[in-house]
Amino acid sequence: MLSIDIPMKRLFQRRPADWVKFVEPQCREEWIRPYQTEYTPKQQSRLDHVLEVEDPARGSYLINFEPMGYYDVTLPARMLRYRSDIWEASLKNGQGTPPIRQVVIFFYPENDNKLHRLSDRWGESTMLDYQYRVIRIWEESRQTVIENELAGLYPLLPLMKGQKPKEQPEQVLQESIATIQKLPDQSLQQDLLAAMAIIAGRKGSKYTSELIQSMIRREMIMESPIYQEWVKQEREEAMAKGKAEGKADVICKILYRKLGIESFELQQMVKTITSEPILDWVFEQIIDVTDKETAKNTIQKALAQTKQ
């Protein structure tokens, strides 16, 4: 499945003020600037989704956005690490520990793990009580985004709730596209439409790929960097899938030679693994296997790794 990281990163880069004003409606665009740091965290972090706000009344603070397009049970711990990364950078630069507003944005209900608070208590003492703000796009008003002209969020309009309880996907998508096409910047239009096609066209969405392709045609978005990166990612994933399928086939043949018809169940399990490194590991283990139970344990270990 294609990641939403590409369109989301591009949208944050192009329209950062829109995202800040989405969570801080009173914030003015001239108060917002990128958070500058030369710090490189030891683990992957989203410091490119951090903005600095200089509010004349409340003072300066940072906003850390985390767009979530997948399910992650470790999200609260990861968000705490991001906060730690930012403060480690600011302490290194002699800036102390600036206030940080952390905002997690969910696009699809199935990705919300419902756990957004961490507590550490010892007896009657509270050692840690940590939480962050959660935004569920499907609970946000489409009309509010349009009225406030938050163009950076226009690709999310099809995922937001409308003013009517029941809406037809075709109408919602058509109205969302029309909203984008009213913008004077043609380059921005193409980026927003490309992002909408990726985000709204997720597998299992009410917006089918056929519907999206009929309304957001290739010639409308082909010059968009988002679209070009999307096409590149599609090709890379297709190539990787082909290589993984080839390796899975080899493992299945080995299983059949060793175990005969008893291997059919194990072969089906192997075919669900798409990671090349994990398939390489399975291959090395299967070579020396002589019984079904050992082979099954090996493949189950591999499957467990794919879910981490």
Are 282 and 270 in contact by the 8 Å Cβ rule? The answer is yes
Shared-domain flag, residues 172 and 274: no
Q: Does residue 146 sit within a domain?
A: no
Q: Is residue 295 part of a domain?
A: yes
Is the residue at 156 inside a domain?
no
Q: Quick one: 207 and 233 in the same domain?
A: no
Place of tokens 């109408």: 171
Residue 256, class by beta-carbon neighbours within 10 Å (0-12 exposed, 13-18 middle, 19+ buried)? middle
CB-based contact 52:33 (threshold 8 Å): yes
Q: Which residues of 108-144 are buried (b: 16+ CB within 10 A; e: fewer)?
A: beeebeeeeeeeeeeeeeeeeeeebebbebeebebee
Say whether both 107 and 211 belong to one domain: no
Same domain, 12 and 124: yes
| Domain identity same for 71 and 135 | yes
Q: Are residues 200 and 235 in the same domain?
A: no
Please indicate, yes or no, whether residues 130 and 166 belong to a single structural domain of this protein. Answer: no
Do 151 and 18 contact (CB within 8 A), yes or no? Answer: yes
Judge whether 119 lies within some domain.
yes
> Does residue 236 sit in the same domain as residue 217?
no
Q: What is the pLDDT of residue 40?
A: 45
Residue count of the chain: 308
What CA–CA distance (Å, rounded) separates 17 from 14? 9
Q: What is the DSSP string of 182-249?
A: TSS-HHHHHHHHHHHHHHHT-TT-SS-HHHHHHHS-HHHHTT-HHHHHHHHHHHHHHHHHHHHHHHHH
Does residue 246 fall inside a structural domain? yes
Range of the domain at 189: 162-223
The answer to whether residue 91 sits within a structural domain is yes
Same domain, 34 and 125: yes
19 and 112 inside one domain: yes
Q: What is the pLDDT of residue 231?
A: 75
Calpha distance 77→81 (Å, rounded): 6
pLDDT at 215: 94
First to last CA, the chain: 16
User: With the C-alpha atoms ordered 223, 224, 229, 235, is the resulting torsion angle positive or negative?
Assistant: negative
Any domain includes 180 = yes
Number of domains in the chain: 3
Q: Which residues contact 103 (CB under 8 A, 6 or more apart)?
A: 23, 63, 64, 65, 66, 132, 133, 134, 135
Are 64 and 49 spatial neighbours (Cβ–Cβ below 8 Å)? yes
Torsion over CA: 79, 29, 186, 161 (sign):
positive
pLDDT (0 to 100) of residue 185: 94
List per-residue pLDDT tens for the chain, 308 residues long. Answer: 446 777 888 888 889 999 999 999 999 999 999 887 655 444 555 556 899 999 999 999 999 999 998 889 999 999 999 999 999 989 998 989 999 999 999 999 999 999 999 999 888 898 999 999 999 999 999 999 999 999 999 999 999 999 887 899 999 999 999 999 999 999 999 999 999 998 998 877 899 988 998 999 989 998 888 888 777 777 777 677 788 888 899 999 989 888 888 899 999 999 999 888 899 899 988 887 888 999 999 999 988 887 65
Within the chain, where are the H helices? 5-14, 16-23, 75-92, 142-147, 169-181, 186-200, 209-215, 218-221, 225-259, 264-270, 276-286, 292-306
